[in-house]
Chain A
Amino acid sequence: MNFDKEFDASGLSCPLPILKTKKALADMASGQVLKMIATDCGSVKDMQAFADQTGNSLLSQSEESGKYIFFMKKK
Protein backbone atom coordinates (compact mmCIF):
# COMPACT_ATOMS: atom_id res chain seq x y z
CA MET A 1 0.00 0.00 0.00
CA ASN A 2 1.26 3.49 -0.80
CA PHE A 3 1.83 5.85 2.08
CA ASP A 4 3.06 9.40 2.61
CA LYS A 5 4.69 9.03 6.02
CA GLU A 6 5.91 6.20 8.19
CA PHE A 7 6.84 5.82 11.83
CA ASP A 8 7.88 2.95 14.01
CA ALA A 9 6.45 2.67 17.52
CA SER A 10 8.06 -0.72 18.15
CA GLY A 11 8.88 -1.32 21.81
CA LEU A 12 6.52 1.40 23.04
CA SER A 13 3.60 0.62 25.34
CA CYS A 14 0.14 2.12 25.73
CA PRO A 15 -0.64 4.98 25.29
CA LEU A 16 2.51 6.02 23.37
CA PRO A 17 1.65 4.41 20.00
CA ILE A 18 -1.65 6.34 19.95
CA LEU A 19 -0.15 9.62 21.15
CA LYS A 20 2.62 9.40 18.56
CA THR A 21 0.12 8.52 15.84
CA LYS A 22 -1.83 11.64 16.71
CA LYS A 23 1.37 13.69 16.51
CA ALA A 24 2.42 12.13 13.21
CA LEU A 25 -0.99 12.92 11.68
CA ALA A 26 -0.84 16.52 12.87
CA ASP A 27 1.46 17.76 10.12
CA MET A 28 -0.05 15.67 7.34
CA ALA A 29 -2.65 16.83 4.84
CA SER A 30 -6.18 15.52 4.61
CA GLY A 31 -6.28 12.30 2.56
CA GLN A 32 -2.62 11.41 3.13
CA VAL A 33 -1.77 7.95 4.44
CA LEU A 34 0.33 7.15 7.50
CA LYS A 35 2.04 3.79 8.00
CA MET A 36 2.55 2.91 11.65
CA ILE A 37 4.38 -0.10 13.07
CA ALA A 38 3.89 -1.26 16.66
CA THR A 39 4.77 -4.25 18.81
CA ASP A 40 2.21 -3.52 21.56
CA CYS A 41 -0.67 -5.96 20.92
CA GLY A 42 -3.02 -3.55 22.72
CA SER A 43 -2.54 -1.11 19.86
CA VAL A 44 -4.72 -3.29 17.58
CA LYS A 45 -7.87 -2.38 19.48
CA ASP A 46 -6.59 1.08 20.39
CA MET A 47 -5.91 2.09 16.79
CA GLN A 48 -9.42 1.02 15.79
CA ALA A 49 -10.87 2.99 18.71
CA PHE A 50 -8.70 5.99 17.78
CA ALA A 51 -10.01 5.83 14.21
CA ASP A 52 -13.64 5.49 15.34
CA GLN A 53 -13.39 8.47 17.67
CA THR A 54 -11.35 10.83 15.53
CA GLY A 55 -12.81 10.13 12.08
CA ASN A 56 -9.46 9.15 10.54
CA SER A 57 -9.86 5.92 8.54
CA LEU A 58 -7.96 2.78 9.42
CA LEU A 59 -7.42 1.42 5.91
CA SER A 60 -5.79 -1.81 6.98
CA GLN A 61 -4.06 -3.61 9.80
CA SER A 62 -1.95 -6.73 9.64
CA GLU A 63 0.48 -8.72 11.72
CA GLU A 64 3.89 -9.89 10.57
CA SER A 65 6.19 -11.81 12.91
CA GLY A 66 5.15 -9.96 16.06
CA LYS A 67 4.85 -6.55 14.43
CA TYR A 68 1.53 -4.87 13.83
CA ILE A 69 1.28 -2.69 10.76
CA PHE A 70 -1.40 -0.06 10.35
CA PHE A 71 -2.30 2.22 7.47
CA MET A 72 -4.33 5.23 8.46
CA LYS A 73 -5.79 7.86 6.17
CA LYS A 74 -6.07 11.32 7.62
CA LYS A 75 -9.55 12.82 7.77
Chain B
Amino acid sequence: MTTKKMAIIASKGTLDMAYPPFILASTAAALGYEVQVFFTFYGLQLLRKDLSDVKISPLGNPAMPMPIPMPVMVQMLPGMESMATMMMKQKMKSKGVASLEELRDLCLEAEVKFIACQMTVDLFEFEKSDFIDGVEWGGAAMFMGFAGETDVCLFV
Protein backbone atom coordinates (compact mmCIF):
# COMPACT_ATOMS: atom_id res chain seq x y z
CA MET B 1 0.00 0.00 0.00
CA THR B 2 1.42 3.36 -0.98
CA THR B 3 1.39 6.13 1.62
CA LYS B 4 -1.46 8.58 1.27
CA LYS B 5 -0.59 12.25 1.17
CA MET B 6 -2.29 15.47 2.24
CA ALA B 7 -1.38 19.08 1.59
CA ILE B 8 -2.93 22.08 3.35
CA ILE B 9 -2.55 25.78 2.69
CA ALA B 10 -2.99 27.73 5.96
CA SER B 11 -3.65 31.37 5.10
CA LYS B 12 -5.45 32.67 8.20
CA GLY B 13 -3.97 33.83 11.49
CA THR B 14 -6.94 33.99 13.85
CA LEU B 15 -7.47 31.58 16.73
CA ASP B 16 -10.52 29.90 15.18
CA MET B 17 -8.94 29.48 11.76
CA ALA B 18 -5.70 28.15 13.28
CA TYR B 19 -7.38 24.99 14.49
CA PRO B 20 -8.48 23.27 11.25
CA PRO B 21 -4.99 22.98 9.70
CA PHE B 22 -3.38 21.70 12.92
CA ILE B 23 -6.24 19.30 13.75
CA LEU B 24 -6.37 17.83 10.26
CA ALA B 25 -2.59 17.66 9.85
CA SER B 26 -2.05 15.88 13.18
CA THR B 27 -4.95 13.49 12.62
CA ALA B 28 -3.92 12.65 9.07
CA ALA B 29 -0.38 11.97 10.29
CA ALA B 30 -1.81 9.64 12.97
CA LEU B 31 -3.68 7.82 10.20
CA GLY B 32 -0.45 7.29 8.32
CA TYR B 33 -0.60 10.16 5.83
CA GLU B 34 2.47 12.07 4.77
CA VAL B 35 1.48 15.69 5.44
CA GLN B 36 2.76 19.10 4.40
CA VAL B 37 1.28 22.41 5.50
CA PHE B 38 2.15 25.53 3.54
CA PHE B 39 1.75 28.69 5.65
CA THR B 40 1.20 31.90 3.76
CA PHE B 41 0.08 35.46 4.51
CA TYR B 42 -1.55 35.62 7.99
CA GLY B 43 -1.13 31.88 8.40
CA LEU B 44 2.56 32.60 9.05
CA GLN B 45 1.59 33.78 12.54
CA LEU B 46 0.88 30.13 13.39
CA LEU B 47 4.56 29.24 12.97
CA ARG B 48 5.91 31.88 15.32
CA LYS B 49 7.42 30.76 18.61
CA ASP B 50 5.06 33.06 20.49
CA LEU B 51 1.41 32.40 19.63
CA SER B 52 0.01 35.09 21.92
CA ASP B 53 -0.81 37.29 18.91
CA VAL B 54 -3.18 34.64 17.58
CA LYS B 55 -6.55 35.99 18.70
CA ILE B 56 -10.23 35.85 17.97
CA SER B 57 -12.57 38.80 17.49
CA PRO B 58 -16.35 39.04 17.54
CA LEU B 59 -16.00 41.99 15.12
CA GLY B 60 -17.13 41.09 11.62
CA ASN B 61 -17.96 37.61 12.91
CA PRO B 62 -21.71 37.60 13.51
CA ALA B 63 -21.83 33.81 13.86
CA MET B 64 -19.65 33.81 16.98
CA PRO B 65 -21.73 32.63 19.95
CA MET B 66 -21.63 35.26 22.72
CA PRO B 67 -22.61 34.79 26.37
CA ILE B 68 -24.62 38.01 26.13
CA PRO B 69 -25.73 39.91 23.00
CA MET B 70 -23.13 42.54 22.19
CA PRO B 71 -23.67 45.47 19.81
CA VAL B 72 -20.97 46.05 17.20
CA MET B 73 -20.25 49.46 18.75
CA VAL B 74 -19.25 47.68 21.95
CA GLN B 75 -17.25 44.97 20.17
CA MET B 76 -14.94 47.60 18.72
CA LEU B 77 -13.88 49.03 22.10
CA PRO B 78 -10.23 48.65 23.11
CA GLY B 79 -9.55 45.41 24.96
CA MET B 80 -12.56 43.55 23.56
CA GLU B 81 -10.40 41.40 21.30
CA SER B 82 -8.17 40.31 24.17
CA MET B 83 -11.21 39.62 26.32
CA ALA B 84 -12.92 37.54 23.63
CA THR B 85 -9.67 35.60 23.12
CA MET B 86 -9.28 34.95 26.83
CA MET B 87 -12.88 33.77 27.12
CA MET B 88 -12.56 31.48 24.11
CA LYS B 89 -9.34 29.95 25.43
CA GLN B 90 -10.95 29.34 28.83
CA LYS B 91 -13.95 27.71 27.16
CA MET B 92 -11.70 25.47 25.06
CA LYS B 93 -9.69 24.43 28.10
CA SER B 94 -12.82 23.56 30.04
CA LYS B 95 -14.01 21.36 27.15
CA GLY B 96 -10.71 19.51 26.84
CA VAL B 97 -9.82 21.08 23.47
CA ALA B 98 -6.07 21.03 22.88
CA SER B 99 -4.16 24.32 22.83
CA LEU B 100 -2.64 25.43 19.52
CA GLU B 101 0.84 24.89 20.95
CA GLU B 102 -0.03 21.31 21.90
CA LEU B 103 -1.50 20.49 18.47
CA ARG B 104 1.45 22.09 16.71
CA ASP B 105 3.89 20.04 18.81
CA LEU B 106 1.92 16.88 18.02
CA CYS B 107 2.19 17.70 14.31
CA LEU B 108 5.96 18.12 14.56
CA GLU B 109 6.30 14.93 16.56
CA ALA B 110 4.38 13.11 13.82
CA GLU B 111 6.76 14.54 11.21
CA VAL B 112 4.28 16.86 9.55
CA LYS B 113 6.33 19.17 7.34
CA PHE B 114 5.74 22.90 7.86
CA ILE B 115 6.65 25.22 5.00
CA ALA B 116 6.66 29.00 5.37
CA CYS B 117 5.97 31.01 2.24
CA GLN B 118 9.22 32.85 1.55
CA MET B 119 7.50 35.69 -0.32
CA THR B 120 5.18 36.58 2.58
CA VAL B 121 7.97 36.18 5.15
CA ASP B 122 9.86 38.85 3.18
CA LEU B 123 6.73 40.95 2.61
CA PHE B 124 5.93 41.22 6.31
CA GLU B 125 9.64 41.51 7.19
CA PHE B 126 9.48 38.65 9.64
CA GLU B 127 12.73 37.39 11.12
CA LYS B 128 13.44 33.71 10.64
CA SER B 129 14.43 33.62 14.30
CA ASP B 130 10.79 34.42 15.24
CA PHE B 131 9.71 31.04 13.89
CA ILE B 132 9.83 27.63 15.54
CA ASP B 133 12.60 25.19 14.63
CA GLY B 134 12.00 22.72 11.84
CA VAL B 135 10.24 25.12 9.47
CA GLU B 136 11.27 25.01 5.82
CA TRP B 137 11.13 27.97 3.45
CA GLY B 138 9.60 27.65 0.03
CA GLY B 139 7.46 29.00 -2.75
CA ALA B 140 4.42 28.12 -4.82
CA ALA B 141 6.29 25.76 -7.14
CA MET B 142 7.67 23.82 -4.18
CA PHE B 143 4.16 23.44 -2.79
CA MET B 144 2.79 22.30 -6.15
CA GLY B 145 5.51 19.68 -6.40
CA PHE B 146 4.02 17.95 -3.36
CA ALA B 147 0.37 19.02 -3.80
CA GLY B 148 0.22 17.50 -7.29
CA GLU B 149 0.74 14.06 -5.84
CA THR B 150 -1.66 14.27 -2.90
CA ASP B 151 -4.91 12.47 -2.16
CA VAL B 152 -6.29 15.39 -0.13
CA CYS B 153 -5.50 19.05 -0.75
CA LEU B 154 -7.14 21.83 1.25
CA PHE B 155 -7.10 25.61 1.44
CA VAL B 156 -7.83 27.07 4.88
Q: Which residues of A contact B (CB under 8 A)?
A: 11-16, 18-19, 21-22, 39-40, 50, 53-54
Contact = CB atoms under 8 A, between A and B. Distances in A.
Contacts of B106: 19
B35 to A, nearest CB: 13
Interface SS of chain B: loop
A15 B23 contact: yes
Interface residues of B, number: 12
Interface of B: 23, 26-27, 30-32, 95-98, 106, 110
B97 A13 contact: yes
Nearest to B22: A15
A15 B31 CA distance: 12
A22 B96 contact: no
A50 B29 CA distance: 11
A14 B30 contact: no
A74 B27 CA distance: 18
Given A15-B23, A15-B30, A15-B98, 8 more contacts: A13-B98, A14-B23, A15-B27, A18-B30, A19-B106, A40-B96, A50-B30, A54-B31
A46 to B, nearest CB: 9
Contact of B32 (A21, A40, A54): A54
Contacts of A18: 27, 30
A18 B26 CA distance: 10
18 contacts: A11-B96, A12-B96, A13-B96, A13-B98, A15-B26, A15-B98, A18-B27, A18-B30, A19-B27, A19-B30, A19-B110, A21-B30, A39-B96, A40-B96, A50-B30, A53-B31, A53-B32, A54-B31
